[in-house]
Structure 1
Amino acid sequence: MNLSENLKKNQRVVTFLNRAEIDFLDKLGKDALFSTGSKLSRAKIIAWFVDFMKELNINGKNIKSEQDLENRIREIMGQKGVSPTSPATDAF
């Protein structure tokens, strides 16, 4: 198997989330199920969040805390014209 094929394979990641974080992912998945008929798994939602962060070109430079990361995301989202209260983000 070449490197390109190996990079395309999904890798298992074990993470520890608190109850509120799990509930949020479950609610997101259930909302999708009831509104579209498609169930979203926790893993799929997390993978999509990672893909979105990559699309925003988020990097780890000068990020030392959760607040630093949140500020970076808010800064970039503001530059792209998306406000935290826009309809596209109401579910979050």
Structure 2
Amino acid sequence: MSVITRHLVIRGRVQGVFYRNWMVTTARQLGLTGWVRNCMNATVEAVVEGPPEAVDRIIQLAHDGPPAAKVAEIVVQDARPGSFSGFDKRPTV
């Protein structure tokens, strides 16, 4: 099975709208591993890892996010594979 890893920076109204919780639930439903966290600069940062179709799907869904979110932009970059055991919400940095 092919696995890819992507680093995402999500900009817009994405804090205080349950974006991280939505990302955790969605990633787990898609069978992805990685993490998500708020950043002090008002963005949300995530690393997602899994089959290419599932990673592409979460990136597509992330443009909408939860109902209260207003995503302006998502910057996607390749990332080094991690040794994640699940998909977790991390503390703000």
Above 0.5 in TM-score?
no
Specify which structure has the higher proportion of helix. Answer: 1
Higher strand residue share: 2
Query: TM-score with structure 1 length normalisation?
Result: 0.29
> What's the TM-score once normalised by structure 2's chain length?
0.29
The structure, 1 or 2, with the larger RCO (C-alpha pairs under 8 Å, 6+ apart) is: 2
